[in-house]
Protein backbone atom coordinates (compact mmCIF):
# COMPACT_ATOMS: atom_id res chain seq x y z
CA UNK A 1 0.00 0.00 0.00
CA UNK A 2 1.30 3.44 -0.88
CA UNK A 3 1.80 5.84 2.01
CA UNK A 4 2.16 9.59 2.45
CA UNK A 5 2.39 11.92 5.41
CA UNK A 6 -0.42 14.41 5.91
CA UNK A 7 1.84 17.31 4.97
CA UNK A 8 2.96 15.61 1.74
CA UNK A 9 -0.62 14.62 0.94
CA UNK A 10 -1.81 18.18 1.56
CA UNK A 11 0.84 19.60 -0.80
CA UNK A 12 0.18 17.04 -3.55
CA UNK A 13 -3.46 16.09 -3.05
CA UNK A 14 -4.34 16.09 -6.77
CA UNK A 15 -1.39 13.82 -7.56
CA UNK A 16 -2.31 11.34 -4.83
CA UNK A 17 -6.04 11.30 -5.61
CA UNK A 18 -5.28 10.78 -9.31
CA UNK A 19 -2.90 7.94 -8.42
CA UNK A 20 -5.50 6.24 -6.20
CA UNK A 21 -8.01 6.49 -9.05
CA UNK A 22 -5.57 5.34 -11.74
CA UNK A 23 -4.04 2.43 -9.79
CA UNK A 24 -7.24 1.49 -7.93
CA UNK A 25 -5.04 1.04 -4.85
CA UNK A 26 -5.59 2.51 -1.37
CA UNK A 27 -3.34 5.24 0.02
CA UNK A 28 -2.38 5.29 3.70
CA UNK A 29 -2.03 8.81 5.08
CA UNK A 30 0.01 8.91 8.29
CA UNK A 31 0.08 11.58 10.96
CA UNK A 32 2.65 12.33 13.64
CA UNK A 33 0.10 11.51 16.37
CA UNK A 34 -0.23 7.91 15.06
CA UNK A 35 -3.73 8.54 13.73
CA UNK A 36 -3.82 7.29 10.16
CA UNK A 37 -6.50 7.29 7.48
CA UNK A 38 -6.94 5.50 4.18
CA UNK A 39 -8.02 7.03 0.87
CA UNK A 40 -9.48 4.45 -1.48
CA UNK A 41 -11.53 4.36 -4.67
CA UNK A 42 -15.28 4.65 -4.11
CA UNK A 43 -15.91 1.31 -5.84
CA UNK A 44 -13.55 -0.38 -3.37
CA UNK A 45 -15.28 1.26 -0.42
CA UNK A 46 -18.69 0.22 -1.76
CA UNK A 47 -17.44 -3.35 -2.16
CA UNK A 48 -16.21 -3.42 1.45
CA UNK A 49 -19.50 -1.96 2.69
CA UNK A 50 -21.55 -4.52 0.73
CA UNK A 51 -19.43 -7.41 2.03
CA UNK A 52 -19.82 -6.12 5.58
CA UNK A 53 -23.58 -5.84 5.12
CA UNK A 54 -23.91 -9.36 3.69
CA UNK A 55 -21.77 -10.97 6.39
CA UNK A 56 -23.24 -9.02 9.32
CA UNK A 57 -26.03 -11.56 9.74
CA UNK A 58 -24.56 -14.85 11.01
CA UNK A 59 -27.29 -16.82 9.21
CA UNK A 60 -26.61 -15.07 5.92
CA UNK A 61 -22.84 -15.50 6.32
CA UNK A 62 -23.33 -19.24 6.90
CA UNK A 63 -25.58 -19.53 3.85
CA UNK A 64 -23.10 -17.63 1.65
CA UNK A 65 -20.17 -19.77 2.83
CA UNK A 66 -22.17 -22.95 2.18
CA UNK A 67 -23.06 -21.68 -1.30
CA UNK A 68 -19.40 -20.97 -2.07
CA UNK A 69 -18.40 -24.44 -0.90
CA UNK A 70 -21.11 -26.00 -3.07
CA UNK A 71 -20.12 -23.93 -6.11
CA UNK A 72 -16.45 -24.86 -5.74
CA UNK A 73 -17.48 -28.52 -5.53
CA UNK A 74 -19.46 -28.20 -8.76
CA UNK A 75 -22.83 -28.46 -7.03
CA UNK A 76 -24.64 -25.80 -9.06
CA UNK A 77 -28.02 -25.48 -10.74
CA UNK A 78 -28.97 -23.40 -13.75
CA UNK A 79 -32.32 -21.59 -13.71
CA UNK A 80 -34.17 -19.39 -16.17
CA UNK A 81 -34.64 -15.82 -15.07
CA UNK A 82 -38.20 -15.01 -14.11
CA UNK A 83 -39.92 -12.00 -15.65
CA UNK A 84 -40.61 -9.26 -13.15
pLDDT, tens digit (0-9, with 9 covering 90-100), for 65-76: 999 999 999 999
Judge if 8 and 20 occupy the same domain: yes
- Write out the H or E segment, with its range, that includes residue 48: helix 42-56
Torsion angles phi and psi, residue 67, rounded to 5: -65, -40
Q: In which domain, by residue range, is 35 found?
A: 2-40
Mean pLDDT of 46-62: 96
For the stretch 11-52, pLDDT in tens is 999 999 999 999 999 999 999 999 999 999 999 999 999 999
Residues 6 and 18 placed together within one structural domain of the fold: yes
**Domain count along the chain:** 2
pLDDT of amino acid 8: 98
- Nearest in space to 23 (alpha carbons), one of 9, 8, 43: 43
Amino acid sequence: MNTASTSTFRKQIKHFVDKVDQDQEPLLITRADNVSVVVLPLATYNSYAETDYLLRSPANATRLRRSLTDARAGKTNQHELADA
